[in-house]
Amino acid sequence: MHTGAFCDIAWDKDGKQTGFISFPYSIDRSPYYQIKVPVCRIANGEGPGLVLMAGNHGDEYEGELTLLKVMRLLEAEAVTGSVTILPATNLPAVMAAKRCSPFDGGNLNRAFPGDPAGGPTHRIAHYVEHDILPRHDVLFDIHSGGTSMDHLICSLIERMPDPARQEKAVALLGAMRMPYGMIADNGPDSPTSMAAALRAGCIGLSGEFGGGATATPRTMAMTALAVDNLLLALGITKKRLLTDSDVETETRIISQGPQSFFVYAERQGWFEPAVDIGDIVAAGDIAGWMHDLERPLEPPEELRFRAGGVVLSRRLHTHSQSGDSLFNVAELVE
């Protein structure tokens, strides 16, 4: 079965092409409506194939804006191999400035491998995993914390089953020269783009570049650096496209810990953090205090870290409910 999508790109053609992947989705306002996901392909002869993807979540802007710059600035003559750019992959979510799609509530990064007969989010996931990724060697899917979360700037890979691919992935993780490089371990069956890349035979790279549904000069600069360094490391470009120079950063490798590395709210309250992202914490340190505006005289509940490491993410919204992740800590790998 097929998603019914139409794609404007001729995959075998050299040069720069822009167009859409169009997913028919009949709605009240427009019986023949199509979700038009923008796509750009810049190809020049034999060489590595890279997918640059953003807008997996619609409220994470560094990747979306950076990939527009790549689309405008990169010409085929400057490329060896090919780059396919998806700046707004879950387009309905991007247009709504939300993490998930307003059409079906779908979170694209929980929808892989997708479903050709499913809702829009699952059809987009299916197309990316089955029609786009297998034509390429590497995927770089650019994220940040989104509306409710701030995230430490880091490049990211999933642990790969075969050692050769793992070695290459770790080398590319470091080549991006982010302050931290995270190795996650969600397995090849997970519903994320990284597992999709694994299943499609690609090296999956990702990264987190900020948060709070905004973009700052620093988060934009770091995203540009990661994209430029990756293009150079793969040999797709020979010259810097988005940045003037490299930075001398040794990437500190961190790894995703088990559940004990999270601090969760277990009741409604108003959370006051004691630390910020990037802080180094130890097991037993105070993470913060849960206040209760409905019980003004009650002392706040003290929440502590159960594991030590670097603070990776922090909830930005003070008002919290049971089940909200307040902090995530990553293990520092020696």
Q: Name the site residues for Zn ion (rule: CB under 5 A).
A: 57, 60, 143
Burial class (CB in 10 A: 0-12, 13-18, 19+), 196: buried
The residue (of 55 and 273) whose beta carbon lies closer to Zn ion is 55
List the structure tokens of 274: 């004691």
What is the three-class DSSP state of 115? coil
Smallest separation, CB 141 to Zn ion (Å): 8
The residue (of 61 and 127) whose beta carbon lies closer to Zn ion is 61
The residue (of 147 and 255) whose beta carbon lies closer to Zn ion is 147
The residue (of 41 and 99) whose beta carbon lies closer to Zn ion is 99
Angle between helices 217-233 and 163-175 (to 10 degrees): 130
State the pairing for strand pair 252-256/180-184.
parallel
The residue (of 60 and 324) whose beta carbon lies closer to Zn ion is 60
Smallest separation, CB 145 to Zn ion (Å): 8
Smallest separation, CB 60 to Zn ion (Å): 5
Distance, CA of 156 to CA of 183 (rounded, Å): 6
Contacts of 144 (CB under 8 A, 6+ apart): 60, 61, 62, 63, 151, 208, 209, 210, 211, 219
Smallest separation, CB 56 to Zn ion (Å): 6
Specify whether the CB–CB gap between 240 and 228 falls below 8 A: yes
Smallest separation, CB 146 to Zn ion (Å): 6
